Amino acid sequence: MDGRPYMPAMCGKDAGMEDKEGICMGLEMIEAGWLSILPPLIAITLALISKEVYSSLFLGIFSGMCIYCFCTGGDILQAVTYVFDMLAAKIGQNGYMIIFLVLLGSLVVIVTRSGGSDAYGQWAGKRIKSKRSAKLATAALGLMIFVDDGFNCLTVGTVMRPITDKCRISREKLAYLLDATAAPVCIIAPISSWAVAVASEVEEAGGLNAFVRTIPYNLYAILTIVMVFALCFTDFDFGPMEKAEAGREERRTGAAEETLKRKRGTVLDLALPVVTLIVCAILGMAYVGGFFAGTGKAFTEAIGENPTAGLTLGTFAALVVALALYLPRRIMGLREFMTGIIDGIKTMIPALTILILAWGLGGVCREMIGTGIFVSHFVSAVNLPFGFLPAIVFAVAAFLSFSMGTAWGTFGILLPIVSMMCAGGEGAAVLIPALGATLAGSVYGDHCSPISDTTILASTGAQCEHLRHVETQLPYATLVAAVCFFGYLVAGFSENAWITILSSVVLLLGALGGIAFRGKRRRGRGKH
């Protein structure tokens, strides 16, 4: 790193894919060694203990800046200044994401106040009458919207929340279904912003073709989807989620109660803006990426160029359609429409605050104190037979992604290292399994980290308390991760995708069956 001033990018998934030649805030990155893992550990530990995420994230950022100043001869006042410099930089880098979220929050409030959400709830309620069908419908819709994980969480949450509320499914379970069909689906979809990002990191191994070859070895994504449908079909839950489902109650927001009194909207008032959002978001991604400009870019490449800008255009288009749909029919007036936009922005403030703080913590770890470098050195220093490499890489990627709250930043660091470690000789045989393990570990950490933007957006989409979502989801995600570790041991030595997938699925279903049997016996003893 040469310490040149960093120029914020207009695009990118989570600000983890910045200009690799520059450092945020124009400061030179240091290698703080084992101290570099303290800030995320402090933030995560405090959040889980105190159940208060805002101060925990802030203290995590501050501790990272203190470490930076300690290593560079700075003082405590500089550390405080650097905290706000980092947050300001991240707001600039993620401007499109912020605009997208406030526009989407406005769209949700406006559609709800039009009566469209309630009309859809009544329509779907006549067809979706059981918890099982509601959960399956949520999971299926999540699989269909695979272009971007944050877009997935917020869109599916908006559409399915009235249905899951009516079927008495807890908000914690809805948040899990949103999260489990977001990043795990995007990471195995060849047409997604994730696919393009991964392909750009493994160009020497074959680019998009290498990404497609990793799909059978992306065990976490595959097993998470298997687990989601297994839980939906069986209506089985365990751990904190079981308690959340047992204590569920039908909850309605103030906006929903207002629509119950009016009942003016129709299903079209929800469906048309949402369809416009989906179609225009995909077209917007392609447009921003230069697909329609005659640049010769493939569609998959274009949509990954600047996906958040495309999502912003799609959301704006949906708001315009809603305006044209509601005002002429007097469903709401212009003043009420604009009030809905402001109220929608207000609903997004808690999520945006967490996101900005999480981006700041990730920036400290990646760009200032070298958390990724410390972990990557650890990976390179491991001297074991190559058959163990996929399992080791999975564990390291999971730890790094959980600590930094970013899958993109994690595989951006580890994929080049893994590619080099497996270049030629014995390592070539486990290259694709190891790359798949890197992606899988990155998604696991991103899936369950309390500072991950996807986890935060899943909580927002379900309107669930954020730390409750983290607490209830963690046992599910960790069970899948444990099975994945075993699966990657099989993959490393068998070098056969089908054997790996089959043995992993059998182990996962067996583990679920064992947990269910044990829970049944425990409840049986409790009755006597």
The model's pLDDT over 380-409, given as tens digits with 9 standing for 90+, comes to 665 667 778 889 889 988 988 887 777 776
Q: Are 340 and 109 in contact (CB under 8 A)?
A: yes
Decide if pLDDT at 269 tops 80.
yes
Secondary structure percentages of the chain, helix, strand, coil, to 5: 80, 0, 20
Instruction: Name the band, by pLDDT with cuts 50, 70 and 90, for residue 207.
Output: low
Straight-line distance from the first to the last Cα atom of the chain, in angstroms, rounded to the nearest whole number: 67
3-class secondary-structure state, position 470: helix
* 493 vs 347: CA distance, rounded Å: 50
Predicted confidence at residue 348, as pLDDT, reads 78
What per-residue confidence (pLDDT) applies to 17? 36
Whole-angstrom Cα distance, residue 313 to residue 96?
Answer: 10
Residue 457, token pair as written in the block: 């957006």
Give one DSSP letter per residue of 377-423, joined into a string: HHHHH--S-GGGHHHHHHHHHHHHHHHHT-HHHHHHHHHHHHHHHTS
Cβ 174 vs Cβ 138: under 8 Å: yes
pLDDT class of 51 with cuts at 50, 70, 90: low
Q: pLDDT tens-digit profile of 440-451?
A: 998 998 888 887
How confident is the model over 505-517, as pLDDT tens digits?
Answer: 999 999 998 888 8
> pTM of the entire structure?
0.69
- Summarised one tens digit per residue, pLDDT across range 85-107 is 989 988 888 788 788 878 878 88
Q: Give residue 211's identity as a one-letter amino acid code.
A: F
Q: What is the mean pLDDT of residues 71-82?
A: 88
The token pair that represents 425 in the structure block: 């000789």
Three-class HEC string of 176-243: HHHHHCCHHHHCCCCCCHHHHHHHHHCHHHCCHHHHHHHHHHCHHHHHHHHHHHHHHHHCCCCCHHHH
- Whether 401 and 362 have beta carbons less than 8 Å apart is answered as no
